[in-house]
Amino acid sequence: MKQGPDFLTILRQHFLIFISAFYLALFSLAISMILLLEVYPPSQQQYGVYMMSCSAGIAIYLCMANLLIIRGRPWAVWLVVTAMVACMLVALGHWGRRAPDVMYSIGLILPLATLLTLNSKRYRAMLAAMVEVRGQRTAWRQRCRNRR
């Protein structure tokens, strides 16, 4: 008998909210990167290098933060929240400089939508379930160690 839901059951129930928060955060970070490269353009030769290195950094940061969330670390949500606050500061701090106002509006709406998703009941229920699964894994490891 199982004492609680396992990881795959939780993932089936909460996958939509998790992936929507992930993609909203990814798109808002990408828009902020584009805004920064538009306001502070590098040389023509270095533009591709900057674009690829920023994209790789954004992807690694966001994937590691969400991996920690999946592993049951609720404090990792603050890593995503910090990135969204930085995105909003980029959009507000550079409003009206070189990019169209639509880009700044999108750069402000996407982080706000991400924060709204992170604060939803379903996302908080997913976090609680992931913490519960983490506790189950810890208990299972302790039982396995005690058998040796």
User: What proportion of the chain, given as a percentage, has pLDDT over 70?
Assistant: 97
Q: Which residue has the higher pLDDT, 53 or 148?
A: 53
**8-17 long-range Cβ contacts below 8 angstroms, 24+ apart:** 10/126, 10/129, 10/130, 10/133, 13/126, 13/129, 14/122, 14/123, 14/125, 14/126, 14/129, 17/117, 17/120, 17/122, 17/123, 17/126
For residue 21, pLDDT over 90 is answered with yes
Q: Domain extents for the chain?
A: 7-147
* CA dihedral sign, ordered 37, 97, 90, 123: negative
Q: What is the pLDDT of residue 43?
A: 84
For the segment 128-139, the average pLDDT, to the nearest whole number, is: 88
The pLDDT-based confidence of 3 (bands split at 50, 70, 90) is low
Per-residue pLDDT at 143: 87
pLDDT of 115 reads 97
What is the reported pTM?
Answer: 0.86
